[in-house]
Amino acid sequence: MVEGPASGGAPDLVHREVGLAPEPASVRRARHAVEDTLRRAGQAEDVVDTAALLVSELVTNAVVHARSSVGITVTVNRRGVVVEVADHSPHLPVQRSFTTDATTGRGLELLQALSVQHGARRTDSGGKVVWFALGQPQPERAEQAAPQPEPSVEVRLLHLPVGLYATFLEHAASLLREHLMTALDEATRADASEADDAAAGNEALTVLAEAVAPSLAAAAPGASSVDARAQLPRSAVPRFLTLQRALDRAVAQAAAGLLLAPASQPEIRRLRIWCCDQVVNQAMGADPEPWSRLDASAAPMARESPAWDTSSVTASDRALLAADDANRILAVSAPAAELLGWSREALVGRRLVAIIPPRMHEAHIAGFVRFLLTGERHVVGRRVEMPALRQDGSEVQVGLLVEAHRLPSQRTVLVAELDPA
């Protein structure tokens, strides 16, 4: 990523600047402004479409992360098109370690895939500019002097669970993004404190992801946990308290079915609290406390059960088990209960982790939430073998084939057929 196109070189044929408010409608206005400018300049439709897509992504990110006014600059010269998006946040974009099916965090990947050149730079006023070029590469500007480093604090996240942490980041980003959009939509009727909290929380999440990334990159392939060292700006520490507040609100909205993002799971909630507490406490001089697993098999559910007829499972002579998108067991057939070593009454209403050995809880929750977020399927749709936890604490090896069913209510029910492995 380079800092920016040079101001000299190819003369400008068209130059347009647009100011936008920090609200969802600005995404549409930015897209229309870019489309109109490029069509008037005689650019091909594929260039217009690509520029509109990229500016939509960048303005969305500016509204979500910066919570500030946004400036758009469109320049057409003999080399091609340059679009710049400016906001008041100093945090340069960072590639988070999301899955290939993630529905958030894709701005940099789109720039890399669709532009001939892109970059970001900080401004003298303390904000930033993210830009891209289409057509031919633009002359690069001279590098700016590196900014003076601000005071920082080292935070150690001991025994950080790699898979659960990645899912936490992805889920939190999705929750905050939707929560901010709802807060911005309601900002005309109430104060904007919730939107400000969501934007500040997003900044904390970005800072954390960027600081922990080197430790994850240095970990052994396949490592389930790492002792991460994160160098964080001291000025960012208060934002982790704000992140907690914003995610508490977003989690409550998701549990009420007001967001598209799935409701949070106890393990992810606890990891979020632990990460934020470690940042704040260690910044005040406390010693690091290592992550420890949580047995949340009996934890209360975040959402009510969906309306769904369980008779196809309960009356079946096959070993069937059904669960909802809150990780709640909805129904168990008699053969499944016998195979698993539980009574049906004891299983129904419990979380799925009740029949999963504790050592596999975090991997299960990470995969479960990732499936709900992105549709990524590691277990769903193909037969796998795995150990199941019986009521007496012993384990039994079972084969299972899981199928997902989308309900008219937009809830999801998972039905598994089991057999002795």
> Per residue in 362-408, pLDDT tens?
999 999 999 898 887 777 888 999 999 999 999 999 999 999 999 99
pLDDT for res 86: 94
Q: Which residues are 70's β-sheet partners?
A: 20
- Residue whose C-alpha is closest to residue 291's, from 154, 152, 162, 171: 162
Q: Among 154-163, 197-206, 241-250, 398-407, which stretch is predicted with the lowest mean pLDDT?
A: 197-206
101 band by pLDDT with thresholds 50, 70 and 90: very low
Q: What average pLDDT does range 146-161 have in this prediction?
A: 85
**Using CA atoms, how far apart are residues 325 and 254, in angstroms rounded to an integer?**
12
pLDDT for res 22: 81
Contact present, 254 and 263 (Cβ < 8 Å): yes
The model's pTM: 0.75
Contact present, 299 and 361 (Cβ < 8 Å): no
Residues 6+ apart with CB under 8 A from 203: 65, 89, 91, 236, 239
Alpha helices in 286-402, H assignment, sequence order: 311-314, 334-340, 344-347, 361-374
